[in-house]
Chains A and B, each alone.
Chain A
């Protein structure tokens, strides 16, 4: 059975081998000795060797009875997943809703996810933070620093 390091090594090994196989399709140029695949093959080969070494070391360590890395403190992985999901939705809808609407929804959504608001005061804090963040970011970047923030394809706003 593999430990954390072994699994990490295995995933990286698989990815590097797939990419290495893709470099074999790259055509060399007859005019120069080094084609576009020369350097990527070195790098991916090195990555594959190191990933394989990580797997081997992990197996070796387990055979010699070294303890696996264990987390001691309690972790809230559900909340991590939720934060990634909220951020993923923000990124996905940003080009469709535009910066202002998407950011307003994101800030309010993420704040509520991280700490569900209690009572009307909690909701007021969420609303004020979301509106202030969106407004300040929009005014500073678009008006003052001349960064053209994304407009929504659906909203044109």
Chain B
């Protein structure tokens, strides 16, 4: 395994892979530093550029975006008190007070170095567990796959949004999208409403791009011309000089905190659809609970910054494990990566690491090298990235939407995908306004075909429906689905009793 890993790293160090990884990381840092531009949005913008590249080049660029984005968000969080993206919110709790106390360099570099070490710990998990988990998944029959996908969907439905009914309904709407088009057994057209284009089914990428791009852009547009003056407008560049040896020692002298919060990040990454923001906040919460001085949290304590940043970067490793071992995206960024893989004819899942070892270990290599590049990019350009916050959204949004159109169109050079993009842009925005979470919808669209195929395959193999329950792994997964929903119901009720308000939606 280690030889393959070294070969993967060596492969990534070739200019043809290193360049897209570098550009992706740079774009990720820039996107991460821009308040209101999430990693999902940045990776959606990068997607069309990867169509003309080799698979590993394209995936390297996307992994770079992911790593750069997770780290870039902390810049504005620490220095301006504006989270670059949801997964930097908890970083701001202590990063910004530390900056205000006159230590902006320390706050920033604690976050950057914690991201780096957390990311590397996530990499250990990624490299060490993907293969064994894929081997387990290889033993799965159609019953187990069906139950696994149902488990993933029920978990997402339960853990996102403020109501389990809404989560499940959103997932069900996603499944409805996948039944439009020809059926997978005989190719008979279903629910095409007389539209010829729909006979081929609806690709999930235009749906994903439309839903996420519009949901985010429109929620920013809603606030334009009514919001107060932007604090970024009155920004003055701070002094960021710091002793890196001291900062590194500050992190490494707290090994338990670093390992534990990185583990939380990995665990949340493995669970489908619970993104970096949950990892960031949960790790912060854990660090506070475990601290001897919880009262210092929120006043600029280094533990708060280390915990939140280590968790959101190790989260990437967890998300990549799920997609590589099971073919289930860990979050929206890996969902886009899954789309990019399918465009290149690559099917992620249990056979992926066996059939595509060069690509799989190349991804591991890109992940590890990407963290080093992130560090180098921030080392050189952190001061410049702060200027990015002054770019007006009236310039950014048209450019993003043009890239969304190109991304949807270039999937198979048809304008139909652009119409799908617009349609789901409207649907996604209406869903947000209707209080329905978007993550289950997307997972439903991604997994719908596989759920149907495995359900039909299992029934055609043996018509006994009890097999779903009596086969140990399948039964265990279905029991876990029920347990996860019961847990979600309990959690929602407890939260409502405690606070009397609806729960914040998690990011995807």
Contacts and interface: CB of A to CB of B under 8 A. Distances in A.
Interface of A: 4-5, 7-9, 11-12, 16, 19, 22-23, 26-27, 29, 32-34, 36-40, 43-44, 46-47, 50-51, 53-54, 57, 69, 73-77, 79-80, 83-84, 87-88, 90-91, 94-95, 103, 106-107, 110-111, 114-115, 125, 129-130, 133-134, 137, 140-141, 144-150
Interface of B: 48-49, 51-53, 163, 165-166, 168-169, 172-173, 175-176, 179, 183, 185-186, 188, 190-191, 193, 217-218, 221-226, 392-395, 397-399, 401-403, 405-406, 409-410, 413, 415, 418-419, 421-422, 425-426, 429, 433-436, 448, 452, 455-456, 459-460, 463, 502
Contacts of A145: 48-49, 51-53
A157 to B, nearest CB: 16
Nearest to B52: A145
Point out which of A5, A32, A57 has the most chain B C-beta atoms below 10 A from its C-beta. Answer: A5
Contacts of B53: 145
B272 to A, nearest CB: 19
B406 A39 contact: no
B223 A75 contact: yes
A149 B409 contact: yes
Contact of B405 (A4, A32, A94): A94
A96 B419 CA distance: 14
B455 A39 contact: yes
Given A39-B455, A40-B190, A114-B393, 19 more contacts: A5-B434, A12-B173, A26-B190, A33-B460, A33-B463, A40-B179, A40-B191, A43-B448, A76-B225, A79-B221, A87-B422, A106-B398, A107-B398, A110-B397, A111-B394, A114-B221, A133-B399, A137-B402, A147-B406
B168 A87 contact: no
A87 B424 CA distance: 13
Nearest to A141: B406
A70 to B, nearest CB: 11
Contacts of B463: 33
Contact of B434 (A8, A29, A32, A38): A8
B422 A91 contact: yes
Contact of B395 (A12, A83, A125, A147): A125
B410 A141 contact: yes
A76 B52 CA distance: 39
Contact of A36 (B188, B405, B434, B435): B188
Contacts of B429: 80, 84
B399 A107 contact: yes
A86 B433 CA distance: 20
B172 A111 contact: no
Given A39-B455, A76-B221, A76-B225, A110 B401 contact: yes
Given A114-B393, A144-B52, A87 B401 contact: yes
Contacts of B459: 33-34
Given A5-B435, A90-B405, A137-B403, A36 B52 contact: no
Contacts of B436: 8
Contacts of A130: 398
A26 to B, nearest CB: 6
A22 B191 contact: yes
A8 B198 CA distance: 25
Contact of A80 (B166, B173, B221): B221
A113 B70 CA distance: 32
* Nearest 9 interchain pairs by C-beta: A145-B52, A8-B434, A115-B394, A36-B183, A114-B394, A40-B179, A47-B172, A110-B398, A50-B169
